Amino acid sequence: MIEIEIAGPGKNALGSELMRSLLDQIRAAEGAPLLLRGAGDAFSAGLNLKEVVSLDQQEMETFLRLLVELTTTLFEYPGPTVALVEGHAIAGGCILALCCDYKVGANNPKARIGLNEVGLGLRFPPRLLKLLRYVVPRLEPVILHAGLYGPEQARALGLLDEVCEHAEERAKGYLGELAKHPAEAYAVAKRDLRAGATDVDEADEQAFIAEVVPTWTSDELRARINKLLGR
């Protein structure tokens, strides 16, 4: 079993450096059973908004492609993966947890979990939205409401698989059970089940460049984020 810890400033905010580090660690694990957890009292509170507001359009395209590469690499990882969510898992942080095969949440009433991108005025990259359609059974209310939920409500919405008191013990135990399966059979079944789940066509790719990226660099979004950051 390999543990990968999401560790960074701002409640483990996902900036370029952290995302590259996580991507390298996932690839280096080479299919071994993988436990993904956050450092301290959060899983990940989402993207590094301070970095987001500093990027021009070309830099933003690179940033978003890195986010998509990280999430799809985790989603397509051949070995078993379990997310241990002991605190906040918001927006990009929630998506990382959803990319894992099983999500165990701690019974932490202070934790908030959800996809609040629409509330910030953000659009999802097409591959990311396709991935979410695969992993969240009732995605529309989760995205359109843009709510942040406590662990039990997050479980009811399909953002967690279970919530328990001894989350770390349960997460490691569940990962151990998955790891008992023949590795090749697990990898092939996972690949076949998820085949095409994140595929996009040329029209989607052009829409990403022409429509999605500009919304992430708009003056309106920068003003909204700066207000959120207290600037």
pLDDT tens digits, one per residue of 102-155: 999 999 999 999 999 999 999 999 999 999 999 999 999 999 999 999 999 999
CA–CA gap between residue 143 and residue 179 (Å, rounded): 32
Mean pLDDT of 189-213: 92
3 state SS for the chain: CEEEEECCHHHHCECHHHHHHHHHHHHHHCCCCEEEEECCCEEECCECHHHHCCCCHHHHHHHHHHHHHHHHHHHCCCCCEEEEECCEEECHHHHHHHCCCEEEEECCCCCCEECCHHHHCCCCCHHHHHHHHHHCCCHHHHHHHCCCECHHHHHHCCCCCEEECCHHHHHHHHHHHHHCCCHHHHHHHHHHHCCCCCCCCHHHHHHHHHHHHHHHCCHHHHHHHHHHCCC
Checking if the pLDDT of 16 tops 70, the result is yes
Mean pLDDT of 204-208: 87
The residue written with tokens 């280096």 in the block is 28
Note the pTM of the prediction, 2 decimals.
0.95
pLDDT band at residue 45 using 50, 70 and 90 as cut-offs: very high
* Class of residue 220 by CB neighbours under 10 A (exposed 0-12, middle 13-18, buried 19+): exposed
Q: Give the residue from 126, 93, 104, 99 showing the smallest Cα distance to 190.
A: 99
Mean pLDDT of 191-202: 94
CA distances from 107 to 104, 138, 151 (A): 10, 23, 7
Checking if the pLDDT of 204 tops 90, the result is no
More confident site: 202 or 86: 86
Give the CATH architecture of domain 2-186.
Answer: Alpha-Beta Complex (3.90)
Checking if the pLDDT of 231 tops 70, the result is no
| pLDDT, tens digit (0-9, with 9 covering 90-100), for 47-78 | 999 999 999 999 999 999 999 999 999 999 99
Q: Give the residue from 178, 158, 12, 4 showing the smallest Cα distance to 74.
A: 4
Mean pLDDT taken over the chain: 95
Mean pLDDT of 32-57: 95
Percent over 90 (pLDDT), the chain: 87
